[in-house]
Structures are given as structure tokens and as C-alpha cells.
């Protein structure tokens, strides 16, 4: 399979019914291709989400980078809209040289502005889903993601258990450990 447009058939052959379309290196799918992918997915009963670019940094100390991150979120929301996806997954960024608390304040402000911009662009029906991260210097442990999601009822946490396990240095060993998360 050479094209994402073949993905719905592949998923159906493997008895799968959801797909997270990756825009990790930028939103490079045209509106027309996203329309086709969405139509083919709906025909096969495939639920879609879209993963926003990895280089988004809601917590950057540079305002220009945070503003660009809002634009990347809007680009991802546009692709999701064309696909008929009901959510996008977003990384929150790193702490860098600032405290986790300072990074969370910056990310909260950026995400609030992203929600307003999304509403203004007609994307209020698509959920923005902050994802847990896997490196200690990244913003996005479970508690931080939950705090970000308290900004607006349309924000939904994305829990990547591999990331949680990495962030907590391998703490997920039992069924109960997973249930606690």
C-alpha cells in the first residue's frame, strides 16, 4: 500500500475500525485528498482522528513559536474537518529551561487561544486532545494533561500508556497500575 487513501480497505481486511492519520511532520494532505479519505473511511465504518505535527510547542518561552503552534493546530483541524474526524491529538511541548509550572501556564494560555481560534474558524465540533508524553523534560504527564483538558469541555485527554510508562520510568507492571492511570 503506497497511499493513505488505501488505508480504509487495509484496516477492513484486518478487522480494524479506527485510524489516527499522522501529520507528525506537518499537515501535508490536501483538502481534496482528505475529503476522499474521509469518504472512504465512512463507507468502511472507520473512525478517524488526526495527529497534529510533533513540533507543536504550547509551552515555548518564545511567543512566536506558540503562535505558530496555534496555526499548526488550525491546519490539523482543517484536515480533520475534511476527513470527518472528530478529534485531533496534540503534543504540549517541553519544559526546557523553565519549571513544569511555568510550562503549564504557557501551555494553558496557548491552548485557550487555540480553542478560541478553532471556534472562530468553524472547528468547534472537533475535539482537541492533548496527549501524555514519554520524556521527563516534556510537558504532559497524566496530571498535566488533565489540567489542560479542564480548559474546555471539548478537550479530551489522549493517554498513551507507552508514554506514561516511559515518563514514570517503567511503573506500569500490573493490571492495577494501568487501572490507576
- pLDDT band at residue 138 using 50, 70 and 90 as cut-offs: very high
Q: Residue 140's Cα: distance from chain center in Å? A: 12
What's this model's pTM, rounded to 2 decimal places?
0.95
Main-chain dihedrals φ then ψ at residue 43, nearest 5 degrees? -60, -30
How far apart, in whole angstroms, are the C-alpha atoms of residue 145 and residue 158? 8
The more confidently predicted of residues 21 and 1 is 21
> H helices of the chain, where?
7-13, 31-44, 63-83, 100-120, 142-149, 161-167, 175-180
pLDDT one-digit tens code per residue, 78-89: 999 999 999 999
How far apart, in whole angstroms, are the C-alpha atoms of residue 135 and residue 22? 20
Contact 118, 79 (CB under 8 A): no
Let me know the angle formed at the C-alpha of 46 by 146 and 157, rounded to the nearest 5 degrees: 0
pLDDT one-digit tens code per residue, 29-56: 999 999 999 999 999 999 999 999 999 9
For residue 2, the model assigns a pLDDT of: 83
Amino acid at each position: 500500500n503506497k497511499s493513505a487513501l488505501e488505508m480504509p480497505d487495509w484496516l477492513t481486511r484486518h478487522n480494524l475500525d479506527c485510524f489516527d492519520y499522522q501529520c507528525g511532520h506537518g499537515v501535508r494532505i490536501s483538502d481534496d485528498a482528505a475529503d476522499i479519505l474521509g469518504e472512504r473511511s465512512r463507507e468502511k465504518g472507520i473512525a478517524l482522528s488526526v495527529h497534529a505535527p510533533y513540533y507543536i510547542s504550547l509551552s515555548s518561552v518564545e511567543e512566536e513559536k506558540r503562535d505558530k503552534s496555534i496555526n499548526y493546530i488550525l491546519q490539523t483541524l482543517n484536515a480533520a474537518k475534511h476527513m470527518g474526524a472528530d478529534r485531533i491529538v496534540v503534543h504540549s511541548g517541553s519544559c526546557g529551561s523553565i519549571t513544569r509550572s511555568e510550562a503549564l501556564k504557557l501551555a494553558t494560555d496557548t491552548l485557550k487561544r487555540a480553542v478560541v481560534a478553532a471556534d472562530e474558524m468553524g472547528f468547534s465540533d472537533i475535539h482537541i486532545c492533548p496527549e501524555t508524553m514519554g520524556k521527563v523534560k516534556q510537558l504532559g504527564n497524566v496530571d498535566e494533561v488533565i489540567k489542560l483538558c479542564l480548559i474546555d469541555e471539548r478537550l479530551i485527554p489522549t493517554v498513551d500508556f507507552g508514554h506514561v510508562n516511559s515518563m514514570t520510568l517503567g511503573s506500569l507492571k500490573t493490571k492495577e497500575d494501568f487501572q490507576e492511570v
